Chains A and B, each alone.
Chain A
Amino acid sequence: MDLESRGIPGGYILTEEFREADLAQARALGFSANKVFVEHPIQDRTDAEMALIAERAFAEVVAMIVTPE
């Protein structure tokens, strides 16, 4: 919200497990930010597996920050 108010496109990346948390937070703040969901889990993934997840999400992440509202 802060970044966007300064004209910097923003968003966040979270795993599927946090869909409900994202909804709850958006409801709480009255604001739904741009976001991209990736598969869960990530904490115990190897670097190679993380790179693969990032690769799969890359296009969507780029679109999130370059697509005008």
Chain B
Amino acid sequence: MTEQHDSYLVFLKRDCPTCVLVEPALRELESAGKILQVWSQDDPEFPGSLTAVGDDRELEQSYHWQVETVPTVIRLRGDKEVERTEGWDRAAWLNLFGTQQLAEDLPGFRPGCGSLSVQPGVAEELALRYGTSSLQARRIEIAELEDPLEACYARGWSDGLPVVPPTELRVIRMLAGTHREPAEIVGLIPPDLQPCSIEKIAINAVMAGCKPEYLPVVIAAVEAALIDEFCMHGLLATTWFSSPMIIVNGPITKAIGMNSGGNALGQGNRANATIGRALQLVIRNVGGGKPGGVDRATLGNPGKYTFCFAEDESEQRWQSVAQQRGFESQQSTVTLFAADGVQGIADQKSREPESLCRSLAASLLGVGHRKFAMLSDAFIVLCPEHLRVFTNAGWSKQQVLDRLFELTTRSGAELINGVDGIAEGMPEFVKDMQLAKFKPNGLNIVCAGGTAGLFSAIVPGWLASGDMGSSPVTKEIV
């Protein structure tokens, strides 16, 4: 119930037609003795016909009162809010002001406009300026003449490319991309086994160049990397080439503009590039995993900067990687694979599945070493024109995988040490065995690529696969 000594806060901006519309109503209320404090977000001269108009161009009052729409009218008793209304709704205003009649010339209802205090990017800036920051990371002051980019290099935070300096404002904006609490610990990052909070992930996502909407994908990727089966610690320490490759599935890929098409494994897409990089920076900057330290790679591979892409799920007849791993098409997921670089496979002649399988199998035998068996896993990145060969013939993904498994199974006698004049190979005791190139489920297919070009790719994996090393892992993005 409205009482005589209630007062009212009114938030307006000149740029809002509804705010302009309600000026006569406010004048009428002021004339009737209502105690109004008007705050103007963009022009302290507006509305000119009222007596108590405050300048809120700094948006401090709007932030304090959590104004989302203008006009907003808040009824106060003392300094406590009792109720509020947004936009122009005569019935609501009558009720709020406890009056029987108001601005009869105006239409009954007009929606308001967005408050300047909740514009993209502004809300976080206001939170930093007027709120209480909950960030726990220590603040690092740099000298005025110091270049922030160079300061990041000097402190060892870079993978070799420039990083975006993680200012408090940027980190707060990044954290707006997730509903998870900044202080939540997702796990211990190897090799230093340092606790990693959502805030730490956000800091590294900023440094990698991510947009806030990518953050849930980065968080899921970090969580996936910490699943025991992935063996991130060993993967980091190995002398082999591998590092995490991230495949993203589900609706989020389109929502954040990821590339699953032409040049999917290459440069040019911000989400692909920065999500993969953010995971690497978390390993580096939180876990302390750096080349020359625990990272002992003999050569490494370019994917250690970033290796992330979306799967092309447009072919409904084939299961996606995520579906194969037990997730629904409406779930968004990341799948991590301990990957080397990319080995191209050209086959511009095969129009039948059997021929194409034989062609792919011939290239797959080279993974790790042609005379190795049951060591590395591998992913085939199947291009659309190769996929078409299989789907036109009605072959499922599992049929292709089964046939590739058969075609890459060989006699141990071909593979043992010394055969073909090559000292490298499998041990003597396998010579009477039939050896599959890959462990069961060790070979996978993911679809991606441009619509022109009969070129697929093999992404070989770490020599230490399965229980002895790393297995692919999948984590839902929430």
Residues of A within 8 A of B (CB): 18, 20-21, 24-25, 28-29
Most chain A beta carbons < 10 A, residue from B191, B288, B294, B296: B294
Q: Which residues of B contact A28 (CB under 8 A)?
A: 191-193, 288, 293-294
- Alpha-carbon separation in the docked complex, A7 to B292 (Å): 33
Q: Which residues of B contact A24 (CB under 8 A)?
A: 191, 292-294
Please tell me the size bucket of the interface on B: under 10
Closest to B194 in A: A28
Would you give the shortest CB distance from B241 to chain A, in whole angstroms?
A: 16
Would you give the shortest CB distance from A13 to chain B, in whole angstroms?
A: 16
B237 touches A (CB below 8 Å): yes
Q: Which residues of A contact B193 (CB under 8 A)?
A: 28-29
Most chain B beta carbons < 10 A, residue from A20, A28, A29: A28
Q: Which residues of A contact B237 (CB under 8 A)?
A: 21, 25
- Alpha-carbon separation in the docked complex, A18 to B191 (Å): 15
Majority SS of interface residues in chain B?
loop
Q: Which residues of B contact A21 (CB under 8 A)?
A: 237, 293-294, 296
- Alpha-carbon separation in the docked complex, A21 to B193 (Å): 16
Closest to B190 in A: A28
Q: Which residues of A contact B294 (CB under 8 A)?
A: 21, 24-25, 28
- Alpha-carbon separation in the docked complex, A28 to B295 (Å): 12
Q: Mask for B284-315, Cβ within 8 A of A = 1, else 0?
A: 00001000111010000000000000000000
Report 21 cross-chain contacts, Cβ distance below 8 Å, ordered by A residue. A18-B296, A20-B292, A20-B293, A21-B237, A21-B294, A21-B296, A24-B191, A24-B292, A24-B293, A24-B294, A25-B191, A25-B237, A25-B294, A28-B191, A28-B192, A28-B193, A28-B293, A28-B294, A29-B191, A29-B192, A29-B193
Q: Which residues of A contact B293 (CB under 8 A)?
A: 20-21, 24, 28
Would you give the shortest CB distance from B334 to chain A, in whole angstroms?
A: 26
- Alpha-carbon separation in the docked complex, A62 to B9 (Å): 82
Query: Nearest 4 A-B pairs (CB), nearest first?
Result: A24-B293, A28-B192, A28-B191, A24-B294
- Alpha-carbon separation in the docked complex, A64 to B288 (Å): 29
| B 220-273 contacts with A by CB, 8 A | 237
Closest to A23 in B: B293
Closest to A43 in B: B239
- Alpha-carbon separation in the docked complex, A28 to B192 (Å): 4
- Alpha-carbon separation in the docked complex, A20 to B192 (Å): 15
- Alpha-carbon separation in the docked complex, A29 to B193 (Å): 7
Would you give the shortest CB distance from A14 to chain B, in whole angstroms?
A: 11
